[in-house]
Amino acid sequence: MSQVSDYNIANASGASVRSDLNAVFDAIKTLNSGGSDPSNTAAFMPYVDTADNNNLKIRNSGNTGFTTIGPVNTANLGLLPASGGTMTGVLALPNQTAANPSVHFGDSTTGFFRKASNQIGVAASGLEQLFLDQNGVTLNLQNEIRFADANSSHYIGLKADTTVGTNFTFTLPTADGSDGQFLKTDGSGKLSFGTVSTFSGAASALTGNTLASGVTASSLTSVGTLNSLSVTNNIVVGGTVDGRDIAVDGAKLDTLSVSSTPAVKVERLSSNQTVSNSSYQTKLTLNITPSTSGTALLVQMNGSARSGRDSDGSVKQIQVRLRRGSTTLVTYTTTATGSEQEINLHFPLKDTSSHGGNQVTYTIQARFTGGGDDNPRLNAGVSLIVQEIV
């Protein structure tokens, strides 16, 4: 161990010069080692600090202090080699983004990064695919949870809908249900197993085309066929009237006819309808003639519509209105400016306007507003139902 006050060899006698040279060579040979910093520092000077765990230090470029490299008595100066090893301290990484994650695996756009405080993001193809935080795991971009089969050739996936209006959580049951039960919700996201209610009772009371008076519970699974049913007043069914088939435990009622009031009319779009004009276009028309002049009409519009969004981000909005003749009853308009949006067209109305028993015409009309090349649309299934209220 040796340090010198300076590296200058002064003119002197041969013995003095030899002594100065030996001191300088000894300092170089021992890397200026000593229990305190050398007094004759220079930028990039190496120095072993024997008072500080024999750490190898090097003078910084500004010659204002020493930077510690590592202990000379430890292999690789205590640094983690490129071939890998065990770290004994904290690994701190810089904040990065999904496009340039802090840790990647040979693919600079795939890895981990700090999304925000207490959030770890996972990137693939330069996009954030999911992140972890104190709330759990969130999958982005409508990504799926996939359950693969035994050889991973096929899978079952679960994912969110294209548009979710509000956040909600399903809570799983705490135990399995019984054979034949189904999974149901309490309307607040809590799931449980339930049993399907079935009818039982005097099936013999159903004969020909007559359902005996007072029968409130009856099994229809093996009775046979009810040949015809004529109804002279209101009938309420649990199925879809416009679908024409009303199923009860596998049996089918082919035709439902109502021989008297009230009048009911249904019209429905069987396919998507593109809206390609900035002026209103009629997409659905329903005409109904009430049986009497003093009755009100129950009008229902159902379904959904979607705005159009181009690849460059421009959006065409859609406006949908329900009209009685030339009178507008309601108008729906999409409002999102930077993304495609879907709106529900749910509108029930008790129409008490005077019609005098004459034919009344209801229409669903649509037009677009705004720029962009991708036209909006009315989705298949948009329907208009009008029923006379007696």
Question: Which residue type does 215 have?
Answer: V
Tens of pLDDT along the chain (390 residues) come to: 688 887 878 888 888 888 888 888 888 888 889 999 998 899 999 999 999 999 999 999 999 999 999 999 998 998 888 888 888 888 888 899 999 999 998 889 999 999 999 999 999 999 999 999 999 999 999 999 999 999 999 999 999 999 999 998 999 999 999 999 999 999 999 999 999 876 555 555 555 555 555 555 444 444 445 555 555 555 444 444 444 444 444 444 444 444 445 678 899 999 999 998 989 999 999 999 888 777 888 999 999 999 887 777 788 889 999 999 999 999 999 887 777 888 999 999 988 888 888 899 999 999 988 777 788 899 999 999 998 886
Q: How far is CA 145 from CA 130, 150, 160, 188, 296, in A?
A: 11, 16, 10, 23, 50
pLDDT value, residue 49? 93
Q: Phi and psi (nearest 5°) for 58?
A: -135, 140
pTM to 2 decimal places: 0.39
Q: Which residues have a Cβ under 8 Å from the Cβ of 315 and sit 6 or more positions away? A: 307, 308, 309, 336, 337, 338, 339, 340, 341, 370, 371, 372
Q: What is the CATH number of domain 264-389?
A: 2.60.120.760
Per domain, the residue ranges of the chain are 14-77, 98-141, 203-258, 264-389
Sheet containing 383-389, strands listed edge to edge, beginning at the edge strand earlier in sequence: 264-268, 383-389, 296-302, 347-351
pLDDT value, residue 17? 86
